[in-house]
Each structure stands twice: as C-alpha cells, then as structure tokens.
Amino acid sequence: MLSESVKDCIRALVYLALNEDKKYLSVKEIASNLNLPFFFLAKNIQKLVKDDILESYRGPKGGITFKKPLEQIKIIDIVKSIDGDHLFRKCILGFEECSDENPCAIHRKWVPERERIKNMFSCNLKEIVEEVKSGKNIKL
Amino acid sequence: MLSESVKDCIRALVYLALNEDKKYLSVKEIASNLNLPFFFLAKNIQKLVKDDILESYRGPKGGITFKKPLEQIKIIDIVKSIDGDHLFRKCILGFEECSDENPCAIHRKWVPERERIKNMFSCNLKEIVEEVKSGKNIKL
DNA sequence: AGAATTTAAGATAAAATTATCTTAAATTTG
DNA sequence: CAAATTTAAGATAATTTTATCTTAAATTCT
C-alpha cells in the first residue's frame, strides 16, 4: 500500500510537527529518535524539500523545518511526493485505460473506496498532531 | 496495493468463471487470451491450487477449474493466497504492534477504511461474473 | 507403446525497490 | 580562517518482486 519510504517520512513529519517550536531539527536527530536508517530517511526527505513541503538548512544548527503551516500540509502530499499518485488514480487491476466508460470487472466497487482512501489521506498534519497530543499511548 | 501476481490471477479467474461450462481450461489458453505471461501465471495459479481454490488436471484436455462453487470463492481468498493477508490486517505505518490499545498516529482513521477494503474484497466471483455478463464495455 | 499435451516444481535471471556509502557544498562556531 | 556539523547528490550494494526457463510427471489419443 505505502512504501517504506513514505511510512518513514510520515512518521518523521509527525515527529517534526510535534517539535515545531525548535527552529530546525536535524534529520540525524529525527532518524535516531524514530529508529530509522539515517541515509535512507535523508534521501527521502530530499524529495519533500524539492516539492516545497519542507525547507532545509545546512551547517551546525541546520536541519529541516516545514515550508508552510501544518494546516496546509496533507498526508496525501507526502504520499504523492514520495510514491506518486497512482494509489489515488489507478485501476485496481492495473488497466491503464480503465474508466467509468470502459471499466474493469471491479471498477464499480473500487472507485468509491479509492475516493475514501484519498479523502482519508487528505487530512492535514495539524489534525494528526492534535490527536497525538490529546490521545494516550499513541506511538510515533 | 495488489501485486502483479494477484491482478493476473483475479483476471484469470474471472475469465475462467465466464467459461465455467468447459470442464477444464488450460492455463495456456487463459494466458494467451488475457495477454498474460504464461510461465508467470502458471506459477501463481499453482498457489491457488494448493489453497484449494482451483483444481488442476494434467495432460491433453487438462487444465484448471474451480474446486468449489463460484459463490464460495471470494476475491479476498485469491488475494490472501497470493499476497498474504497483511493488507487486511496490518498497520498502515508498518508497526507490528499497532492496535486499538496502542495505536499509531493514523490508526483511528485507517482501521475503518481497512475494514471497508476487506469488505469490498469479500465479494464472490459469482457476483462479479453476473455484473460482467450484464454490463457493457467491461474489460477482462 | 509412443507421441503429444498439459500441469508441477524448482532453478535461474531480470527488474524494481530498499538500503548504504561516499564525496561535496553550505553554514556555524571558536 | 579552520574545524565541526549538517544537508545534497549521486554511486553502489542488498533485497525483494517479477519474469523466464528447464525438467519432470501425469494424462490422452492414435
């Protein structure tokens, strides 16, 4: 469903959002706190920087931070940036040209679900952070 | 979401279901009609035979057929047989120990969707075949 | 019995994904 | 300015998934 890369990035961004007060957070710190492989995370984070979700700063005291308010960053943006948008767009049987006019055998069942998934991933980081802050036993 | 193997198998089984009148259908015929790689399909079909979804017969006039009535074969059985059941069971962020008591940050949003997906895949082949037979422009 | 057909099973190969490393560039601090 | 820190970018390696091939076994038909 989601690639390892995306899972790591979502966790990293939730962690980052919980520490929004600090100006920049180093990828190293995030990786070590979430127990993620540093090089792998760093590479994936780069894509988010390119796609204007994060902004980075080199040097000591450097690191990453959000480029826009948490309310404007949706989980789906992270997924699209790393994995692309095929999950929210493509036929579940893999047909390139599957559509309402020319459906595959499962099209009518799948499309509504796909829309719901898209909708679920459209929640923003602010929402999630609020839930994490207020909830109990929530792991990052 | 679904592996190539599962997609192939679902298509193959819908095709097989549409030709249920013939006693056995050879994998070769299915592969060539659906434009699927024969060796790849054959290998995956074997898993379905092992899991008692299909039954096979060797020799000329041999091939595969269903081991039980179409009503009793659900799409989810095919998916589980080929890809396993992680899609219907696992945490979307990949935590092994994610649960209601110990949820990840997206758990509450994901679980209901996962249930819906599970439910969608619980439709049986009979339903799908009926829809294909009655519908227009449905591709296999 | 012999030839042809078809699945079974496992070996091998190719491609894609995931993971790691290396070097470079930017920045801060002393 | 020099040393330390941190991201940037791309090369390399390991693993997993997907695809192909080879040989064997079962069956049918003549």
Q: Is the distance from CB of B100 to CB of B82 less than 8 angstroms?
A: no
Please list the alpha-helical segments (H only) found in chain B: 4-18, 27-34, 38-50, 75-83, 107-120, 125-134
- Rounded Cα distance between B1 and A2, Å, is 8
- Rounded Cα distance between A70 and A84, Å, is 21
Q: What residue segments make up the domains of chain B, in order of their start?
A: 4-84+124-132
Reduce the DSSP state of residue B96 to 3 states and report it: coil
Identify the pLDDT of residue A136: 75
Identify the pLDDT of residue A137: 76
Identify the pLDDT of residue A127: 94
Q: Sorting pLDDT into bands at 50, 70 and 90, what band is A81?
A: very high
Q: Is the pLDDT of residue A28 over 90?
A: yes
Interface of A with B in 81-100 (CB under 8 A): 87, 92-95, 98
In Å, what is the CA distance from A39 to each residue of A19, A44, A77?
21, 9, 22
Interface of B with A in 13-52 (CB under 8 A): 14
Stated in angstroms, how far is A59 CA from D2 C1'? 15
Q: How many CB atoms lie within 10 A of CB B121?
A: 23
Residues of chain B contacting A14 with CB distance shorter than 8 Å = 105
What is the rounded average pLDDT of the residues A102-127? Answer: 94
pLDDT exceeding 90 applies to what percent of chain A?
87
Q: Sorting pLDDT into bands at 50, 70 and 90, what band is B136?
A: confident
Q: Is the pLDDT of residue A114 over 90?
A: yes
Q: One-letter amino acid identity for B137?
A: N
Per-residue pLDDT of B86-131, as tens digits, reads 999 999 999 988 999 999 999 999 999 999 999 999 999 999 999 9
A139/B102 CB distance under 8 A: yes
The nucleotide lying nearest A54 (C-alpha to C1') is D7
Given the DSSP bridges, would you call strands A63-66 and B63-66 parallel, antiparallel or unpaired? unpaired
Interface of A with B in 107-126 (CB under 8 A): 107-110, 113, 116-117, 120, 123
Q: Sorting pLDDT into bands at 50, 70 and 90, what band is B137?
A: confident
Identify the pLDDT of residue A110: 94
Per-residue pLDDT of B8-58, as tens digits, reads 999 999 999 999 888 899 999 999 999 999 999 999 999 999 999 999 999
The residue lying closest to nucleotide D27, measuring its CA against C1', is B59
Higher-confidence residue of A139 and B105: namely: B105
Identify the pLDDT of residue A37: 92
Rounded mean pLDDT of chain A? 92
Residues of chain B contacting A98 with CB distance shorter than 8 Å = 139
Identify the pLDDT of residue A97: 85
Reduce the DSSP state of residue B99 to 3 states and report it: coil
What is the rounded average pLDDT of the residues B54-69? Answer: 93
CA-based nearest distance B112→chain A, Å: 10
Q: Would you tell me which CATH number, out of the four given (3.90.340.10, 3.10.20.30, 3.55.10.10, 1.10.10.10), belongs to the domain B4-84+124-132?
A: 1.10.10.10
The nucleotide lying nearest B28 (C-alpha to C1') is C6
Q: Sorting pLDDT into bands at 50, 70 and 90, what band is A23?
A: confident
CB within 8 Å of A89: residues ≥ 6 apart:
none
pLDDT exceeding 70 applies to what percent of chain A?
100
Q: Sorting pLDDT into bands at 50, 70 and 90, what band is B67?
A: very high
Identify the pLDDT of residue A96: 86
CB within 8 Å of A22: residues ≥ 6 apart:
none
Q: Would you tell me which CATH number, out of the four given (1.10.1060.10, 1.20.1050.10, 3.30.70.2190, 1.10.10.10), belongs to the domain A4-134?
A: 1.10.10.10
- Cα angle: A93, vertex A99, A104; to 5 degrees: 35
CA-based nearest distance B23→chain A, Å: 23
